[in-house]
Amino acid sequence: MRLLRLAVLAIASLVSADVNLTHESRNILPSTFKPAQNFRNVNLVRNINLEKSYARETINVVVENVDAQPQSEYFLPFEQSSLGRIGGLEVRDKKDPEKAGFLVDVVEVDPYSSTEYYKITFPSALPSKEQLTLSITYYTLSALSPLPAQMGQTDKQYVLHTFSAYAPSAYITSKQKTKLKLPGVDVPDATTLPAELNADGKEDPQKQGTTYTYGPYNELPAGAIQEVSVRYEFTKPLLHAKLLERDIEVSHWGNNIALEERHWFHNRAATLKNHFSRVTYQQSAYYNPPTPALKEMRFPLSIGSMDPYFVDEIGNVSTSRFRSNIREANLELKPRYPMFGGWNYSFKVGWNNDLKGFVRRAKGASDQYVLKVPFFEGPKQAEGVEYERVVTRVILPEGAKNVHFETTVPLVSNATGLHPTFMDTIGRTTLTLTAINMVDEFRDRDLIVTYEYPFAARFRKPLVIFAGLLAVFAVSWVVGNLDVSIGRKQKAT
Amino acid sequence: MSATPLHDIWEASASQPFLPSIGKSAQFTVGFTLLSIAVLLTGLFGLNNTLKNLPLYGLPASLAFGFGAVYVICAVGVYV
């Protein structure tokens, strides 16, 4: 099963590097589609945060309905090449951040079009001439590429980030600027733009500590692009997970929730110019300089976690530590080898918890239960982790039905099915949820599942064994009392 | 209606955490006792294999084995 999955993964990565380009949640629109010019971006400020190994972009934009009719659909364009790397897109009303995010989905114009759109649906239509402030957040995976792509084992790593100085927009933008937040001040290259473009007549970028600003710019047409790039020091791993599979197994009989995560990691950092030198590595191990190699991972687990394990393809990995007390439960793992640029490592970790903190009996309904768990956990790294695909499987007790779920993580698919395992007669009800292009900032997002677990289903396991054994006794009585003696039957007197 | 109905159910049920009938620490004791009873009763049934003994020994032995097996497999870490 595991081998098969690895094979599938290998084939999938061979077929296309961007697995997520062909994803599930797209509405196909006619190829003539072009968003109607119903809106105007009155003012736009875009923040690109590059402090981690992925780019987090926040676009705060005041949109105005310039149409005569009320409008509720706002489109956000992306290049086809970058769409497959964008994830976690959330839109909120900046003036009312407490409210839930707006409905967002990907629309596909046609497979060969260079531009595709995210469609943002407002909860209520925006009347004509009215304004609304949107706060759009998204993450771009594989956004940093090491330059030079090869380096010595103890060198500093520089990464290149290429983006457009103009924010992506399907509408006319009256005023905008782009702010970059870099992790440090060592920035050897940043594309300069002439002062004529800038509204204030200054040459871009304007530097202020680790913040670089492009803009402000005056009115720009829809789809305007000005490609710029910035190269800066980032001597940290660029940790990229091709796949994360997470199993959440609920056992009412055992009073236990078992969690397991299987990670397939790849380090996108610069590869080693020469062979790996163990001597250099040992020498530097003492003063612990910044390095693009992954040496350690920390999993902060929920309090009360127990029985952790850390296993890779070879077997148990003994370089792990579990610190558990009443205030915290930290799992500290060292991979079997330091993971340098271009290297892979896959492993699984798992742990148990008492069910008490995760499952409650729903109020007002008998036999109904509520489960609340993090959608995924994974390591918490200072430099961040990006996940191409996260598949979370909730394995509920056998016979659970009426399963509903709720999460703030943007999902691409969900399915319910059966998972047959130990002592099952029909298999346990499972809920499989898939999210793509996730980053570790989503690791604390909760998944809430409600399910009905009727009385009859609860006693299925012991009663099946009971019935089986009773049948064995009955058969043994029948067989034991068969008269198989040879010769004349003795007359009963 | 709230935008997060399931979260509201979770909050409303705060006073009703899941309470197991047998805690984790007691699972092995309970399971092992039940299995021992099952073995004992099976032995008694085997000594005197009659129809009268089927409900007398067979039925309780099967019941004890059913629940005992479930608890012992939980106690050894296969949470069913």
pLDDT bin (cut points 50, 70, 90) of residue A31 is low
Interchain proximity A359–B17, CB inside 8 Å: yes
Question: Does the pLDDT value for residue A24 go beyond 80?
Answer: no
Whether the CA torsion A124, A126, A131, A137 is positive or negative: it is positive
What pLDDT shows up at residue A64? Answer: 94
Interchain proximity B6–A450, CB inside 8 Å: yes
Mean pLDDT of B31-55: 94
- Window 237-256 of A: residues touching B by CB (8 A cutoff) are 249, 251-256
What pLDDT shows up at residue A32? Answer: 62
pLDDT tens digits, A307-320: 999 999 999 999 99
Question: Does the pLDDT value for residue A488 go beyond 80?
Answer: no
Report the Cα A293 to chain-centroid distance in Å.
22
What pLDDT shows up at residue A487? Answer: 80
- Window 40-69 of B: residues touching A by CB (8 A cutoff) are 42, 45-46, 49-51, 54, 58-59, 61-63, 65-67, 69
Taking contacts as CB-CB distances below 8 angstroms, the residues of chain B near A474 are: 54, 58
Question: Does the pLDDT value for residue A116 go beyond 50?
Answer: yes
Interchain proximity B74–A307, CB inside 8 Å: no
Mean pLDDT of A218-235: 93
Interchain proximity A363–B9, CB inside 8 Å: yes
Instruction: Report the residue of B18, B34, B54, B63 to disrupt the A interface, i.e. the one with the largest count of A CBs within 10 Å.
Output: B18
- Window 444-463 of A: residues touching B by CB (8 A cutoff) are 446, 448-450, 461-463
Interchain proximity B13–A473, CB inside 8 Å: no
What pLDDT shows up at residue A223? Answer: 86
What pLDDT shows up at residue A317? Answer: 95
Residue among A469, A456, A399, A472 at smallest CA distance from B66: A469
Mean pLDDT of A6-19: 46
Domain covering A239-268+296-334+342-457: architecture = Sandwich (2.60)
Where are the domains positioned within chain A? 24-233, 239-268+296-334+342-457
pLDDT tens digits, A128-147: 999 999 999 999 999 999 99
Decide if A178 touches B, using CB distance below 8 A: no
pLDDT tens digits, A346-402: 999 999 999 999 999 998 888 999 999 999 999 999 999 999 999 999 999 999 999
End-to-end CA distance of chain B: 37
What pLDDT shows up at residue A22? Answer: 47
Pick the more confident residue, A336 or A491: A336
Taking contacts as CB-CB distances below 8 angstroms, the residues of chain A near B7 are: 406, 446, 448
What ipTM is given for this predicted complex?
Answer: 0.93
pLDDT tens digits, A442-465: 998 999 999 999 999 999 999 999
Pick the more confident residue, A301 or B4: A301
Mean pLDDT of A264-275: 95
Question: Does the pLDDT value for residue A100 go beyond 80?
Answer: no
Decide if A95 touches B, using CB distance below 8 A: no
What pLDDT shows up at residue A463? Answer: 95
Kindly report the nearest CA distance between residue A326 and chain B, in angstroms: 18
Decide if B34 touches A, using CB distance below 8 A: no
CA–CA gap between residue A76 and residue A69 (Å, rounded): 20
pLDDT bin (cut points 50, 70, 90) of residue A276 is very high
Domain A24-233 matches domain A239-268+296-334+342-457 at the CATH topology level: yes
Q: In the CATH scheme, what is the code of domain A24-233?
A: 2.60.40.1730
Question: Over pLDDT 90: what percentage of chain A?
Answer: 74
In this structure, of A48-52, A55-59, A309-313, A440-444, the range with the lowest mean pLDDT score is A440-444
Taking contacts as CB-CB distances below 8 angstroms, the residues of chain B near A102 are: none
Q: What would you report as the CA-atom Rg of chain A, rounded to the nearest whole angstrom?
A: 28
Question: Does the pLDDT value for residue A409 go beyond 60?
Answer: yes
Q: What is the mean pLDDT of chain A?
A: 89
